[in-house]
Structure formats: C-alpha cells, structure tokens
C-alpha cells in the first residue's frame, strides 16, 4: 500500500534548479553556446507571442496527461496559461519553459485551493445547535468506493466524538444493505435500513427523522451506484436530494479515472440540475477521491474533478481500512503534476 507522502516524495527541486537561470548567474565563455540558444525563439522580440509559448505549453500538456489529467482539462489549462502570458515581457535571463511552468504552477494552486472551505466538524456543530442532524449523501458511479469510504468518514467522525448513524439507501444492488450493516456492526454505530426495492428518497427521509429522535448528530446516506447517463437512476437521486435537502452532497470518484472524470462529474451536476423538482437545484458540494493508494504519481483525476465541478476534494481514500482517509495536500499534488 502506498502512502500519499510516498507518492509525492520527489527530488524535483533539483530539476527546477536545472531550469532556472537566476539573475545573478554570470554566463561564462564555456556556457555561451548553451546560454544563447535558450533565447533563440524570442530573439529580437519585445513581448511573448503565442508561437513562442507553444513548444513549452505542448510539453507541459503532455506531462499533465501522463499524470492522468483529462485531455480536455490539460488543453484548457494550457490555453489559459497562454492567455495570461501572451503580450507579457519575458523577464531577463529567464527561459520560456520556466516562465510557462511558473504560470502553470500558479494556475494549478489556484484551481485546487478551495474557494469556499467546507468544515464538516464546524457545520455539524452548527446543525446540532439547531437541533438538526447533519446529513451527508454519498453519490457516484458503480463500484467507486462509496460505501467503504462512507464507513471511513463514519470512523473519522467517531474519532472526533461525533455520533453517527448510517442510512442504507442503496435499495437497488443486492448485498448493499448487508455490506453497510457489516460496517455499522464493526464500528458499533446505528444503521437505519428498510431492505430493498423501497424508494431510497423515502428511506433517507425516515432515517433523518429517526436520527433526530435518537440524537445522532450525523446521518451518512449510502446510495446506489449509477452511471451518469442513466436517466431513471439520476432522477431518483435528484428526488432523494430534493426531498431531504442534505447538508453535503459528496461525489465519490476514483483517482484512477482519466478522461471519464469530466463526463462523470459534469453529467452528475447537469442531471441533478435538469431533473430536480426545485427551481434552485442542489448540485455536488464536494469530492471524495478514492483508491489513491493505487495510482502511483498519476494524481491527475484530482485536478480534472476540481476543475470541472469547482468543488473541493474534501477527503482522499487511500486504502481499504477505516483509517485510510486523508486530506488533500494541494502543494504536494501540484508538485507531482509538474514533476
């Protein structure tokens, strides 16, 4: 099992030194040929033009794609970096590739740093003061790790002295209720279940009412896996969210996903918007990225998912035991993406 710290451990600072040419560095005679060749592409030009930036951007796009960033996202990012640099003056003694890399790094940090921070423990406390259970709904395609990571979140909440109840609202896949029951038993927390073939929206409603009665501070709602194109199942999810107005809609996605990350997340959001009975539909609030232990340095799904949804990665699942849940380290991800 690989730890996130292992994934990000690198000697990339040495690479950066290779690329940077500091203002103080004095090119001696020996370095001259190498030194002047670096500036060939912009010789005589006052400002950076798109053509000057293209080779460096192409190399960067390829690098992002080898890290499993969806092609569409890598492309868009390069376009925005190009737009931010076009017409600017290149700082003296600086390579175009370093300038492009620095602009990309800035863009990546900006994208991955949440604009609105969601502090679950604070929000749980606020809900408690209003005498309401805090409700999280776990959604996503089949087999990505919704139920397993729901149990990890339950464990994390228990560690923070928050009382939790599970709601077995995957009333679709056989074995789903028993799977959740096993986690509930191991973690010694209550579970609300009504078997199969019930309307999951109604089961969730009853679970929340039960939590209000028995004083559970948080309800974690498991839902059936569904493909983003499956209209009846997306409609049922939209109903569950409309009827229960959860505090947090958590999209669970695999870190293994490449180009499909864009399709999954954009269609989940699109369908939740289109199929909702509400004029003001709820969309995905946050992302839980799973199977991070299996991807080595291919951390691109984190970027693709945040870029396409604008939602923060709230947790990262990195193994199969309850303790394998972490927070995303933005700096480390950016470093790995650019390595």
Ligand X SMILES: Nc1nc2c(ncn2[C@@H]2O[C@H](COP(=O)(O)OP(=O)(O)OP(=O)(O)O)[C@@H](O)[C@H]2O)c(=O)[nH]1
Residues in the site for Mg ion, rule: CB under 5 A?
146-147
Phi-psi region of 304 (alpha: psi -120 to 50; beta: other; left: phi over 0): alpha
> Contact with ligand X (CB under 6 A): which of 320, 321, 323, 327?
320
Residue of 268, 30, 287 whose CA lies nearest to 149: 287
Could you tell me the two tokens for 284? 């995905």
> Contact with ligand X (CB under 6 A): which of 52, 170, 247, 285?
170
**Does position 233 bind ligand X by CB under 6 A?**
no
Bridge partners, residue 223, by sequence: 169
**Does position 298 bind ligand X by CB under 6 A?**
no
**Does position 200 bind ligand X by CB under 6 A?**
no
Least distance in angstroms from the C-beta of 89 to Mg ion: 55
Phi-psi region of 95 (alpha: psi -120 to 50; beta: other; left: phi over 0): beta
Q: Which is nearer to ligand X, 143 or 215 (CB)?
A: 143
Provide CB contacts within 8 A for 182, sequence distance 6+.
none
Bridge partners, residue 191, by sequence: 166
Q: From the list Mg ion, ligand X, none, which binds 319 (C-beta under 5 to 8 Å, kind-based)?
A: ligand X
Q: From the list Mg ion, ligand X, none, which binds 144 (C-beta under 5 to 8 Å, kind-based)?
A: ligand X
Q: From the list Mg ion, ligand X, none, which binds 318 (C-beta under 5 to 8 Å, kind-based)?
A: ligand X
DSSP structure string for 29-62? GGGHHHHHHTTGGGTT-SS--HHHHHHHHHHHHH
Q: Are 111 and 302 in contact (CB under 8 A)?
A: no
> Contact with ligand X (CB under 6 A): which of 12, 25, 125, 142?
142
Q: Which is nearer to Mg ion, 144 or 272 (CB)?
A: 144
Q: Which is nearer to ligand X, 81 or 220 (CB)?
A: 220
Neighbours of 120 (CB within 10 A): 21
Q: Which is nearer to ligand X, 276 or 290 (CB)?
A: 290
Q: Which is nearer to Mg ion, 20 or 199 (CB)?
A: 199
**Does position 244 bind ligand X by CB under 6 A?**
no
> Contact with ligand X (CB under 6 A): which of 239, 271, 282, 291?
291
> Contact with ligand X (CB under 6 A): which of 147, 244, 304, 311?
147
Burial classification of residue 291, based on how many CB atoms lie within 10 Å of its CB (0-12 exposed, 13-18 middle, 19 or more buried): buried
Could you tell me the two tokens for 43? 């010789």
> Contact with ligand X (CB under 6 A): which of 293, 299, 308, 337?
293
Q: Which is nearer to ligand X, 95 or 173 (CB)?
A: 173
**Does position 225 bind ligand X by CB under 6 A?**
yes
Q: From the list Mg ion, ligand X, none, which binds 148 (C-beta under 5 to 8 Å, kind-based)?
A: ligand X
Q: From the list Mg ion, ligand X, none, which binds 246 (C-beta under 5 to 8 Å, kind-based)?
A: none
Separation between Cα atoms, residue 240 and residue 243, nearest integer Å = 5
Q: Are 308 and 265 in contact (CB under 8 A)?
A: yes
Residue of 313, 290, 1 whose CA lies nearest to 149: 290
Helix (H, G, I), strand (E, B) or coil at 164: strand
Name the phi and psi angles at 26, rounded to 5. -105, 110
> Contact with ligand X (CB under 6 A): which of 63, 132, 173, 198?
173
**Does position 99 bind ligand X by CB under 6 A?**
no
Question: With contacts defined by CB under 6 A, how many residues of the chain interact with ligand X?
Answer: 22
Binding site for ligand X (CB under 6 A): 140, 142-149, 170, 173, 176, 225, 290-291, 293-294, 317-320, 324
């Amino acid at each position: 099992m690989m730890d996130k710290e292992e994934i990000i451990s690198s000697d990339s600072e040495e690479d950066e030194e290779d690329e940077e040419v500091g203002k103080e560095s004095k090119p001696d005679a020996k370095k001259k040929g190498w030194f002047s060749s670096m500036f060939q592409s912009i010789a005589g030009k006052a400002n950076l033009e798109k053509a000057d930036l293209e080779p460096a951007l192409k190399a960067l796009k390829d690098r992002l794609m080898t890290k499993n960033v969806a092609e569409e996202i890598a492309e868009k990012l390069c376009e925005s970096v190009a737009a931010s640099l076009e017409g600017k003056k290149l700082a003296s003694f600086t390579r175009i590739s370093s300038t492009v890399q620095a602009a990309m790094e800035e863009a990546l940090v900006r994208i991955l740093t949440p604009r609105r921070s969601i502090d679950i423990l604070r929000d749980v406390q606020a809900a408690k003061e209003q005498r309401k259970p805090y409700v999280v709904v776990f959604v996503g395609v089949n087999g990505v790790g919704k139920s397993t990571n729901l149990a990890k979140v339950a464990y994390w909440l228990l560690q923070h002295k928050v009382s939790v109840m599970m709601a077995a609202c995957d009333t679709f896949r056989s074995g789903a209720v028993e799977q959740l029951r096993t986690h509930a038993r191991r973690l010694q927390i209550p579970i609300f279940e009504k078997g199969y073939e019930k309307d999951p929206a109604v089961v969730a409603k009853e679970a929340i009412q039960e939590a209000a009665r028995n004083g559970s501070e948080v309800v974690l709602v498991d839902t059936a896996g569904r493909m983003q194109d499956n209209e009846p199942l997306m409609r049922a999810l939209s109903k569950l969210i409309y009827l229960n107005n959860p505090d947090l809609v958590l999209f669970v996605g695999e870190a293994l996903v490449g180009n499909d990350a864009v399709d999954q997340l954009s269609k989940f959001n699109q369908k939740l918007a289109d199929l909702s009975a509400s004029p003001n539909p709820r969309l995905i609030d946050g992302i839980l990225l799973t199977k991070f232990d299996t991807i080595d340095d291919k951390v691109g799904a984190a970027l693709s998912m945040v870029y396409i949804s604008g939602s923060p990665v709230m947790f990262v699942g990195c193994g199969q035991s309850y303790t394998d849940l972490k927070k995303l380290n933005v700096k480390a991800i950016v470093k790995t993406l650019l390595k």
